[in-house]
Structures are given as C-alpha cells and as structure tokens.
Structure 1
Amino acid sequence: MKRVGQWFLGSCLLLAANLIQAQPWQLVKDEAGIQIYLQTIPGSSFQAFRGVTRMRVSMPRLLALQDDVSAACHWIHACSEQKLLAHDGKQSWAYTRFHTPWPVQRRDSILQVTTEQAADGSVTRVLHGVADYLPQQKGFVRVSKVEGFWSLTPRDGEIEVIYQVHSEPGGSVPAWLANSFVVDAPFNTLQALRQLAEEQ
C-alpha cells in the first residue's frame, strides 16, 4: 500500500510539473454546460484537453458507471471495445479499442487507473498509459502515452467533473483528426456520461 501511495503522489507531482512548463489553458468550446480547454505541451505535437461540467448525480452512482468498464464504451468517445484486465486495491488496468475514420489505422490503449478518495468526499482517478502491459495487437496501433485524470468533487448538491488528458496516439495521425479529437473526445464523453448519470 505504501508503494501505491508513493506512486500516486509521484504521478500528481509529475502532472503538476508538466502544467507549470506547459502553456496556459485556452477555452475553445462552451456549450450545453460543458467547457473544453486546450493546452499546448512543450515537445509534443498533440494538445492536452480538459473538460469541465457539473452533474446532478450521487457519487456512488457516478463511480459505479465508471467502474463498469465494459459498459463504459456507451459513453466514452470513439470507444469500440473495453475490458478490465486486472484489479488490485485502488488500482485497475483496462484495455480499450477505438474507432478511427478511414484511412487512419485503429488505435488501442492500456490504462492503469489509480483511485483516491479525499476526506471531503472528492474522488480523483489518475490515468497512466502502460503501453507495454500487453503485446501489440494485430491491426491496431498502440497509443504510446497517456497521462491524465478524472476529478469528481461534490459541490452544492451536484458533482463537478473534470476530465483531463494528454496523449501521444502513436503512428501517423492527420492534423485535422488530432485537432478534432481533442475537442470532441472530452465534450462527447462528458455529455454522454452526464446524460446516463442523470437518468432516473
């Protein structure tokens, strides 16, 4: 458990260091109660995204929706298949396959997710790509790097949800696809998750 806590703290410090070196966040979309921000990352051709919204849902329900890994493709943007690989205490590992428009080769990724709950009831899930957790799959390009988090914070009877990620998709990705993905991925993901979470 001590090693997990040290890893989590180290990940948070690394994220903080990256934010200090990176450029300021720029608001690029504000629609349907969802704000999307982009940030240029030094040394990377791909921008980081941050999506922010509020949901009228209980924390247990929201966590349950995220923990249902295989069903999460219903609300994760461009997700075609997802499965839980392993679970150990606060950590889990998930494999995901993504749709991509022709002629771009399909992508897959493996995430290590570390969940921490604070004394105030807020929950943070740190996302860390582990590309070599499984061998390369035929017909797919492995996403080479993923760093990000989900932040779930109770506020005035709602939950403020922040979804932030920077990734390196691997292989060749056209600029138009990369530019649309960093906006569509957080917006569509948050919108679909909110709709599902708020269903009675």
Structure 2
Amino acid sequence: MENENKPAKPKRWKRVLKRIGIGLISVIVLLYLYNWYWVNSGSNQWELERDEDGVQVYSLKVPGDNVVKYRTIIKGRYSLSQLAAPHLLDHNLETCKEWFENCVDCKIIQPWDSIRQYDISLWTLDFPSPFQPRELLINTSVKQDENKVVTIDVTSVPNAIEHNDGKVRVERMHNVWQFTPLGNGIAECQLTQDISLGGFFPQFLMNMAGKDANFEFMQKELPKFLQKEKYKNAKFSFIREQ
C-alpha cells in the first residue's frame, strides 16, 4: 500500500508549481496591462496637486508619455537678478552638491557666452547599485522679454561631447525657470520640470516623488539659496529690474 501512494507526491508538487506559475504569469499580465493603461492615460492638462504655504504644485500627464511633468510656483520679495543668479554663477562641485546631494563632479564644457547668453556644463550624479551614475550635459540659456519676464532654459544636449563609459547620459531634460515681476519688489518664480533619467531606472518612483520633492525644494531649499549674499547682491547687465 505504501508503494502505491508514493507516485502521488510528485503529482501534487507539479500541481502546486503549475498554480504558482499561473499566478506569476497573471501578476505579470496585470502589471503590463496596468502600465499600458497608465501610460496611455492623462488629461493633457495642468492639474493642481498641492497648494500650501504659498507654494503651488501642478502636474501634467500626457497620454502616451510615461513621464509626469511638474510645475511649481512661489512668490516673494526678490529681484530678477537674484532669482537668476543661482543658475548663472558658480557652476562648480560645491554648488552642484547644493542642488543634488549625490553630485560627484561638475565641469564647465562651454564657458558663458555673453553674446548668445548661454553656457554648457556637465554634472555627474552617483546612485546606489544597481543603478549607474547619470551625466547631465546641460545647456543653460537666459533671455528677457519686453515685459521684463526672465526665462532660464535648462536643456539636455546629450551628444554635445563624447559619451563616457560606465555612465548613462541623460537624454531627456527640459527645465524652464520663469521669473515674472509683479510690482512693489515682488516676483513670481515658476519652475516647469520635464526630466527622465533614462536607462535602467524606475521612472514611476520619480513620478510618485515629484509632487512632494518639488514642494519641499521650492518651499525650503530655494529660499535659503536666494538669501546668500552673492545672490542677493547679484547684478547682470542683460537683466532689467522691475
């Protein structure tokens, strides 16, 4: 009788493994369908996500795009040159670390061109394993319109110089800073952020963290930068104050 029962054990294990396999396949299919649905979702409109302590954070989800864009707005008693100064002065490792804690290198590739009003710099960000370091090769340009609105355009130019082995060059980055004079010494500071770190990196984490990360930066970190004497007293010949 014992010998007759022995073959039943392998059959039971086969049934268990089959059910596990079906379960895993079902989970994978559900995740794929959810991701497909999410990527193709979106209103294509800016939507208010957070409005606290004088900071407004908006998000924009475009159907077919897996990157959520964010727009953050604050107002304060700042000069236009003061708002622009952190982007135009001190392109070095110390400043890079103030913007990104994981910054490990910063180099000037194209010094400031006073005629075309732009420069190119290379920032290297380190990440824990298994993620590779990221290189941000960015063109920073500035212009001011007839209403004295200052726009600083920070755009990725990934192929401006040769790629470095062992590092992922960020292909998609287009951040726009806009400083609008409102009168009586008050200015509005607006950041529109569109970035993907590319390569092997969970974009959904950036999408999830974007709302709170942008709020914290604009509400706490940026005001501290702007109060530095070198920024408060900054003057640029190509920026007309209100």
TM-score, normalised relative to structure 2: 0.64
Q: Which structure has more helix as a fraction of its residues?
A: 2
Q: Which runs of 5+ in 2 are unaligned?
A: 1-41, 230-242
CA–CA separation in structure 2 for the residues paired with 1:30 and 1:78? 26
Which residue number corresponds to residue 54 of structure 1? Answer: 75
Q: Are residues 1:193 and 2:222 paired?
A: yes
Partner of 1:5: none
Match of 2:171 in 1: 144
Over the residues paired in the alignment, what is the CA RMSD in angstroms? Answer: 2.6
What residue number does 1:122 align with? Answer: 149
Asked whether the 8 Å contact 2:196–2:203 carries over to 1, the reply is no
Question: Structure 2 matches for 1:32-111, cutoff 5 A?
Answer: 32-68=53-89, 69-70=91-92, 71-78=94-101, 80=103, 81-86=105-110, 87-88=112-113, 89=115, 90-111=117-138
Structure 1 residue 60, shift from structure 2 partner: 2.1
Distance 1:133 1:115, change over 3 A: same
Letter in 2 for 1:131: P
Kept after mapping to 2: 8 A contact 1:79/1:96 = no
Task: Kindly indicate whether the alpha-carbon contact (under 8 Å) linking 1:76 and 1:188 is maintained by their aligned counterparts in 2.
Answer: no
Listed one character per residue, the Cα deviations across residues 144-184 of structure 1 (whole Å, up to 9, x for unaligned) are 11223110111232221111121232112225522244235
Post-superposition Cα deviations, 1:56-115, rounded to whole Å, max 9, x if no partner, equal: 222222222221222542542455143332122312112122344554322221111221
Q: Within 2, Cα distance between the matches of 1:79 and 1:59?
A: 29
Distance in 2, matches of 1:153 and 1:52, equals: 11
Aligned match of 2:202 in 170, 174, 182?
174
Maintained 8 Å contact 1:30/1:36: yes
Could you tell me the percent identity over the aligned residues?
A: 24
Name whichever structure is richer in strand by fraction: 1
**3-state SS, counterpart of residue 85 of structure 1:** strand
Report deviation, 1:132. Answer: 0.8
Q: 2:67·2:203 contact (CA, 8 Å) conserved in 1?
A: no
Tell me if the contact between 1:75 and 1:189 (Cα under 8 Å) persists in the aligned partners.
no
Kindly indicate whether structure 1 or structure 2 has the higher relative contact order, using CA contacts under 8 Å at least 6 residues apart: 1
Which residue number corresponds to residue 8 of structure 1?
none
Number of residue pairs the alignment of both structures matches: 180
Corresponding residue SS for 1:183: helix
The 3 A distance-change label for structure 1 pair 52 and 113 is: same
Q: Give SS of 1:44's match.
A: coil
* TM-score (ref. length: structure 1): 0.76
User: Quick check: 71-80 or 128-137, which moved more?
Assistant: 71-80
